[in-house]
Structure formats: structure tokens, C-alpha cells
Amino acid sequence: MSTAPAAVSAGRASESAPRPPAAVIARRWVARLTMPVLLLLPAMVIIVGLIGYPLVRTVYLSFTDTGLGELIYGGSTWVGLDNFKEVFSDEHLRASLVNTVVFGTLCVIGTMVFGFATALLLNQRLRGNWFFAIAVLLPWAVPAIAASAIFKWLFDSRYGFVNWALVELGFSGFQDYAWFAGRVSAYVAIFITVVWQSFPFIALSLLAGLQTIPKETLHAAAVDGAGPWNRFRLVTLPLLRPIVAVLVVFSTIWDFKIFDQIYVMAAGVPDRAADTAAVAAYREGFALSHYGLGSAVAVVLFLILLVFSLLYVRLIGREGSA
């Protein structure tokens, strides 16, 4: 090895010092990398253990026919894409995927619009703003299961507050109206629950963004004759685009894998018509012990989320740079 530099140095006459032997270079690299790798190791171990292993295991399970017996005695067989074929051919599972995409998208839109309106209002610094801020923050502190139970009680057909209030307001058709007897009405109730729970985070994040916008820019736009709507559309929105992008991706992920609210509130919807993919994966995997099929549903949900997130990031990122 140590004789190699003679031949090499002929080619690289410009180098003043002769190239050190490979062993020395390797040792130097090891010395340089030891500390960073050691420092990163604990985090890497945790990430691989808590995220990597379950992910790989789920993907593996989705290609097998693992049920309860196979889980206990071992010996599950590789079935290729059969589970995925069933996910798309089974009526219930296919419906759950459609539910996820449609309902999730509506939830994202509702949360973003309502959150944005709240943030703009908070940014006006009205009197009593502190109370408003606390009131808005409160739903964020309520656990998802508790919130679902609260709203289930509010939307109760017989003793619920919502039906009583609607009847008092003159909509007598809501007397004993069963919100969770049909898919659409159940989704209306769950939509309100989801928006109630997630708009505080959106509102406060956007408020933080709004406060970074320099007042001078808005004043300059006003001097140039821009009305409130144009100021919002042409100044505020473009400046907030990075935050909006991140928040949309976040709430897409949250709202597409929504589980608690559906499981608590819509478990009784006939024919399981209101199941989203996360609930369907749970039912298939844990209630019916079809681990392979359940994993396949989870993997499909994961891919849907991946596609939507990438789409948003590309879409919003490109508009921002143009």
C-alpha cells in the first residue's frame, strides 16, 4: 500500500505533500466520526426501535396471511399482493378509504378556514383579547376521547343539547333526531368535533405567523389603495405561505388518521358505514384478528398520506417561489 503514492503522485504533480497511506486516512476518518456517531446512537436506537421496526413489521405483515394462529404458532405464509387486492375489492374497506379521503379533506378545509378566521380576529388586538385567547386554547387541552364523549352526549338524540336547541329555534324536525344513525349526519357531528379540537392549534400557529408580518408592508399596501381583502390576499397570504403549508400537511396527517372520534362517536352507525381507514385497520387487525389484512389497510393509509403530503408540499412550495 505504501508504494502506491509513487505512481499516484506522478499524475498529481500539483499536490505538494505526498498522499498519506490509506490506513492513515481511514484512521483519521474513524477518529473524526467516532464522537458524532456515539452522540447520535441513542437517538438512532430509539427511532429505529420505536418507528423503524413497527413500520417494517407492518409492511411485512401486509404481505402475509398472518392471523391469530400464525401469530402464536408461527408459520405465516407469504401471499404477495392478495391482501391489497382484498382492500380494494372488499366493499367495506374500499368505502373506508373513500371516507378517509373525503372526510379528511373536508376536515382539513374546515379547520384551516376556521383557524385562519380566528387567528385574524385574535390579531386585531380587541379589548378582552386575553379572554378570547384562553377560550380558544381550551379545546386543545381536552383529550380526544373526552372531547368525543362530550360531543356524543351533546348530539344525543333524546337528551342531547343540540337537538333541544334546534327544536327551540324552530327546527322541529330535529325532535329526537338520531345523528349517529346515518353516515352523513354522523359525519356532520364528527366534523364539528374535529374542528373544535384542532382549530386552536391552527389559530395560534397562524397568529404567531401573522405577528411576524411587518406593519409597514400592510400600511404600504393600504396607501397603494388595497382594500382589506386584497391586503389579505396579496400581502398576508403569500407571507404566511410556509406556515400554511406546514399546517396543512400537519392537519392532513391528523385528520386522515383520525381514530378516536370515529371510534367513540360513530361505532354504532349501521353497516359500519362511517368507518375511516384507521378504524377499519383496527377492526380488521385487532377485533377480527386478521393481522395481515389490517396491516395492508394501514399501509394503504400510509401511502395515501404520503402522496397527499408530497403533493401539498410541492404545490405550495412551487407557488411560493414563483
Partner 1 sequence: MKWLMKRGWMYGAMALISAFALFPVYWVVITSLKPRSEIYTRTPDLWPSDPQWDQYPHVLGAGHVGLMSHQPCLATLALDARRGRPRRADDRLVVRAGGAGCIARQAVGDEKEKHLVLKVRYEKNDCPARAGAPRIAARRPRPSSRS
Q: By the criterion CB under 8 A, which residues form the site for partner 1?
A: 68, 71-73, 90-92, 117-118, 121, 124, 126, 128, 131-132, 135-136, 138-139, 142, 147, 150-151, 153-154, 158-159, 161, 164, 196, 200, 283-284, 286-289
Q: Can you tell me the distance from the alpha carbon of 193 to that of 189, in angstroms, rounded to the nearest whole number?
A: 6
- Residue number, 128 or 170, with CB nearest to partner 1: 128
Amino acid at 210: L
CB of 91 to partner 1, least distance (A): 8
CB of 264 to partner 1, least distance (A): 14
CB of 25 to partner 1, least distance (A): 54
- Residue number, 249 or 266, with CB nearest to partner 1: 266
> What stretch of H or E contains 220?
helix 215-223
CB of 271 to partner 1, least distance (A): 10
CB of 286 to partner 1, least distance (A): 5
Q: What share of the chain is helix, strand, coil (3-state, %, to 5)?
A: 75, 0, 20
Place of cell 364539528: 192
- Residue number, 151 or 256, with CB nearest to partner 1: 151
Phi, psi angle pair for 266, to nearest 5°: -110, 20
- Residue number, 185 or 289, with CB nearest to partner 1: 289
Q: Can you tell me the distance from the alpha carbon of 314 to that of 291, in angstroms, rounded to the nearest whole number?
A: 34
CB of 48 to partner 1, least distance (A): 25
Q: Which of 112, 91, 108 is nearest to 308 (CA)?
A: 108
- Residue number, 154 or 248, with CB nearest to partner 1: 154
- Residue number, 32 or 158, with CB nearest to partner 1: 158
Q: Is 201 helix (H, G, I), strand (E, B) or coil?
A: helix
Burial of residue 192 (number of CB atoms within 10 Å: 0-12, 13-18, 19+): middle
